[in-house]
Every structure is written in structure tokens, then in C-alpha cells.
Chain A
């Protein structure tokens, strides 16, 4: 409730009247507004203040640059935080709903936090028939998580993907975009250790 109300208020200050009708006191609303301003800045990496706006501004002069801006945000933060999407919407002069619609349309964008390393497993038919399922089982077991999950140490997330165009050797996984072709279940511990030791 608080979050929704806040968006209404921020986009149309007159709606404060409506909110007060719903029983929220003016003080509550102002407190929520301050909270939201804070959430535009995201405190990450040991307290460094990161301003999404800076990332977005590099792309506003590029026609249709919203998707490129999202790539930049995601490269930096691993996902698209809500505040960043709102920031982008404002910079590109579109509604928050529209920006969110773009963010959620594309399977490589995530609006939820993910691990530092995103492992995607190709499940398209050519990889499927050559043991993608066994590689998935090995990854799930090794990390103690299921597909779609993130490991407790915040290092790894597991996601499905369709073909990533590395089908010369199958099955294929990618780790933060980098392809590993012809992966066997036996390769999995080694690959994960290599990443952990980075």
C-alpha cells in the first residue's frame, strides 16, 4: 500500500488529497516521499552511493536508447532495480509503466536481484537431447539451489535460456554472457571453482 500510494503521489502531487481521504496523514505521505527519494540512490558495494541517473544520462541522447541504458544499469548492478527503472522512465520521458513493460519484456533483464554470476543453461532442443538436463542437475546439486534460485553466498544464480548460438558443441551454458560449450556434469565443479577463485 505504502509503495503504490507513493507512486501516485510522486507522479501527481494533487493526489495527496486522495491519499488523505484514504486515511493517510500528511506526515505519513511526506515520510514516504523522503523514503522514495532515498531509494533513488542505491547504497551498494560497501556504502558507495550510486546514482542511476548518471548511467541513464549517457543514453538519453541516443534515439531509442532505453534498452542500451538498461544494459548499462544491469551490467553495473546485476539487475534493474525499481528505482533505476523509474529514473530511466523520467529521463526518456515515458511513463514508469512503459519503462517497466520494456524491462520485463526481455528475458535477459531481471527486475529482481541476482547473484554476482548469472549462469544460464540452454534448453533448446539441440542442447536438450545432449544432456542439458544432467548439467542442470549437477549445477543444482553443486550450488544447493534450484533453477531460478540464487546461492546463499550471493555468488551464483541459475536461469534457463533458449539457444545462445554456440551450438557447435552441446550442451551450452553461459556465465555472465561468456559461453561454455560442450559442458558435461563432470565439468561443473571445476567451472564453479574457477569462478569462485576469480
Chain B
């Protein structure tokens, strides 16, 4: 039986998030003190050795990112926490900030010390206004106790744009501009906010750091999958019994998540599909449920771990209708900067809508696949590149549903 392993969420429900003394009583800010004594290089070395990889979706080595930022000569560097959390079905970053803000603050301060940045920003999505006071109170408490050294943190708010989760768009938004992505390189590690070297990490990534410094890289890298070690917070929605959150080692399989922790399918219905990683993730069929959630194993089945959202559908769900809604999300969220995405997302949605309404034909499926491969290769940022992923996965694994919808169209005519 699979069990939770709470590393990031170790304090969840165990303390009052507004009382710093309760955090300190649970070993809080020890890692930061330890980091100050270790020296910058050793902190980065420790994080690198832990093999912690980004929890925001791209899976890049956290230690390497810090190293690159440290290596650049600059008069000012920044640490930015990506708290834009926009993937539908995801609320893990909110849980961390709402119930244990000091873990995030400590992780950011360790990063600031390691890379030589004295200023940090938390870019929080505008949909979480109720978190502002919690974060500011916690930051104020830590500063008042002099725990953060010369590091300061400011909370900034987005205003409802999923694309601002993409790091270059996020930094543009932080500068008060339209949140449109830009071409990389230069990467933020070299030219980030206000053209200064900037570390951008996800909330969960930063929140993993204090435990790594406290307990050591060896301890961390031995948890879960060797190539993507540690734990991952998953948020379950859809037709399972326990639609809640879990923190599990990264070698846990999807089947263990859905049928173990998730308590299996609701009302005794049969499993049909699980969309993993949020709206931009692939739909996974029953036959692939024994895949571990780790980054690379998910990639090996053309899926992504993404934000860790697991959206489960039972046999009665209309997957054409669900994929139509998934496609509609990208129409709304495309920033419109580049044509393949601006037009492609609209056309994908239009075609699926047509098929769903019983007006599709077999040529539409070819069109969808073509459009998908053009977008994957030509869109400027990850939003447009990933937009066809869920659709192509449905066409691959649930082709019969699309065929049936098209056959119905034949009957209508």
C-alpha cells in the first residue's frame, strides 16, 4: 500500500501559519542558519547533489540554475518565486503559502544567500488575494527577528493570465508590462527581471530546500525515483473517491495514486482516462497507469508530470466534450503574440466543437494532427507548444470516441 511522505508539507496542519515561533519550534530557520555557515558554494553543491529538479513543470536542475546565476557578474541579482499556479486542477502552491509560508520564505532566503541576491519577489496569481496578508505577515515576522540577513521579499500580484506562469512572461508582468513571453536565450539566470540575473523557481521547489539543507542531499536523493528524486504534491479531481491532495515519493505509480490514495473510482464506475499535469497534460489510458509519476517516466509515455494535477474521468464521461473544454482554455489563455498559437488554438477548438456537435468528418482528424505538429514546432513559448498535447493524446488513446462522434455525424446527414 502506497503511503504519503510529507517533506514539503511536513508542517501542514501542525502549526499556525501566522505564528513564526511555531515554525521555529519545528526546526524552522535552522536550514538558513546552517546555510550561512556552509558558505555559498557548498549550499549550491548540496542542492545540486540532492538532484532536486524544478517542480513548476520543466524539471530543470535546481542546483544548476542557482550555479548559473551565481556565476554571472552583476551588481544586483534577484530571486523570484513563481506562484502563478494556473494549471487547472492545481492548488499545491496555495496550500504551501496558506498553511506554511515560512517554509517558502526560508527556501527563498537560502537561494538568495547562495546566489548573492538580496532581493526576492513572490509573484502570486491574482486569484489568491487572501494569501497576501499571510505572506506579508510571515515575511515581516522573519525580518523582525533578523532571520533573513540582508535578504528582503516583496509580494506582487498577477491579474488573471495563465501565460504569466511562463518565466519570461512572469518577469515582464513583474516589470508592470503585458505578460508576453520572450525568446530564450537569454535565460533569466543571465538576464532576468530588469535585465539582472534572476533565479525563477516554483513555490514547491523552494519549499523543498530547507529539508534538503537540514537533512542532507544524500537523504533527499534516496527518496523516490533516482533521476527525479524527492516527493511531489499531487492534487486529485474528477471521478475518484478522495479528491484531495497528497505528497508522495516520485516513484509512485499513477495506479497507486488513483486506486490507492485516491480511493478508487467513485460509485463503482470503471476508469476511463486521467489527465495528468493540468490542462496542458496528456490524457493517460488504463493500460499506462503503472507508470511512475517521475518526470522522465511520464515523458516516456508522451505525458508530463507538469503541476501534479491528476484529473480522473470515468467510463461515462464524454471525452470529446472534455477535450473541447480543454482546447477552449488555450483559446482564452493564448497571449496572441505569435500566429501559430493565436490562430492554432482557435482552430483546434473550432474543429473539436464541430465534431462534438455532430458536424465533423474524418478529414478533421488529419487536420487536428497536422495543426498539432505545426504548433509544437513553431509556437514561441510552452503554452502554444503544449496546447496540442492533450488533444493528440486523446486522438491516440481514445480514437474510438472521436470516430464515434464523427460516425454520428454521418447518420445525421
Q: CB within 8 Å of B: which residues of A?
A: 63-68, 70-71, 92, 101-102, 105-109, 123-126, 128-129, 161-170, 174, 177-178
Q: Assess the A168–B244 pair: CB atoms within 8 A.
A: yes
Q: Assess the B127–A67 pair: CB atoms within 8 A.
A: no
- Most A CB contacts (10 A, CB to CB) among B162, B177, B179 go to B177
Interface assignment of B326: CB less than 8 Å from any CB of chain A = yes
Shortest Cβ distance from A166 into B: residue = B91
- Most B CB contacts (10 A, CB to CB) among A65, A66, A165 go to A165
Shortest Cβ distance from A108 into B: residue = B160
Specify which of B86, B177, B238, B335 is in contact with A163 (CB 8 Å cutoff).
Answer: B86
Q: Assess the B322–A129 pair: CB atoms within 8 A.
A: yes
Shortest C-beta distance, B125 to chain A (Å), equals 7
Q: Assess the A129–B160 pair: CB atoms within 8 A.
A: no
Q: Assess the A109–B311 pair: CB atoms within 8 A.
A: no
A sample of 18 more A-B contacts (CB under 8 A), given A68-B156, A71-B159, A167-B243, is A64-B175, A66-B176, A67-B176, A70-B159, A102-B176, A105-B161, A105-B180, A106-B161, A123-B328, A124-B88, A126-B89, A126-B311, A162-B88, A162-B332, A163-B279, A165-B94, A168-B244, A170-B243
By a CB distance below 8 angstroms, the chain B residues around A106 are 126, 158-161, 179
Shortest Cβ distance from B164 into A: residue = A106
Q: Assess the A125–B156 pair: CB atoms within 8 A.
A: no
Shortest Cβ distance from B193 into A: residue = A64
By a CB distance below 8 angstroms, the chain B residues around A68 are 156-157
Given A71-B159, A125-B325, check contact A162 B311 (CB 8 Å). Answer: no
Given A163-B90, A174-B127, check contact A129 B178 (CB 8 Å). Answer: no
Q: CB within 8 Å of A: which residues of B?
A: 85-91, 93-94, 125-130, 156-162, 173-180, 194, 235, 237-238, 243-245, 275, 279, 309, 311, 313, 317, 322, 325-326, 328-329, 332-333, 335
Q: Assess the B235–A167 pair: CB atoms within 8 A.
A: yes
By a CB distance below 8 angstroms, the chain A residues around B159 are 67, 70-71, 106-109
- A89 to B31: give the CA distance in the assembly, Å: 44
21 A-B interface contacts by CB (under 8 A): A63-B176, A63-B194, A67-B173, A68-B157, A70-B159, A71-B157, A105-B179, A105-B180, A106-B126, A106-B160, A106-B161, A126-B89, A126-B238, A161-B160, A162-B332, A163-B89, A165-B94, A165-B125, A167-B235, A167-B243, A168-B244
Q: Assess the A125–B176 pair: CB atoms within 8 A.
A: no
- Most B CB contacts (10 A, CB to CB) among A102, A126, A164, A169 go to A126
Given A68-B157, A125-B311, check contact A162 B86 (CB 8 Å). Answer: yes
By a CB distance below 8 angstroms, the chain A residues around B311 are 125-126
Specify which of A167, A168, A178 is in contact with B88 (CB 8 Å cutoff).
Answer: A167
Q: Assess the A125–B175 pair: CB atoms within 8 A.
A: no
By a CB distance below 8 angstroms, the chain B residues around A92 are 176
Specify which of B89, B93, B158 is in contact with A125 (CB 8 Å cutoff).
Answer: B89
By a CB distance below 8 angstroms, the chain B residues around A124 are 88-89, 279, 325, 329
By a CB distance below 8 angstroms, the chain B residues around A107 are 159-161, 332
Specify which of B85, B179, B326 is in contact with A165 (CB 8 Å cutoff).
Answer: B85
- A168 to B240: give the CA distance in the assembly, Å: 12
Shortest Cβ distance from A164 into B: residue = B127
Shortest C-beta distance, B127 to chain A (Å), equals 4
By a CB distance below 8 angstroms, the chain A residues around B328 are 123
Shortest C-beta distance, A68 to chain B (Å), equals 7
Specify which of A109, A125, A167, A170 is in contact with B326 (CB 8 Å cutoff).
Answer: A125
By a CB distance below 8 angstroms, the chain B residues around A177 are 127, 129-130
Closest 3 A/B residue pairs (Cβ): A124-B88, A106-B159, A108-B160
By a CB distance below 8 angstroms, the chain B residues around A164 are 127
By a CB distance below 8 angstroms, the chain A residues around B279 are 124-125, 163
Specify which of B90, B126, B335 is in contact with A167 (CB 8 Å cutoff).
Answer: B90
Shortest C-beta distance, A196 to chain B (Å), equals 22
Q: Assess the A67–B157 pair: CB atoms within 8 A.
A: yes
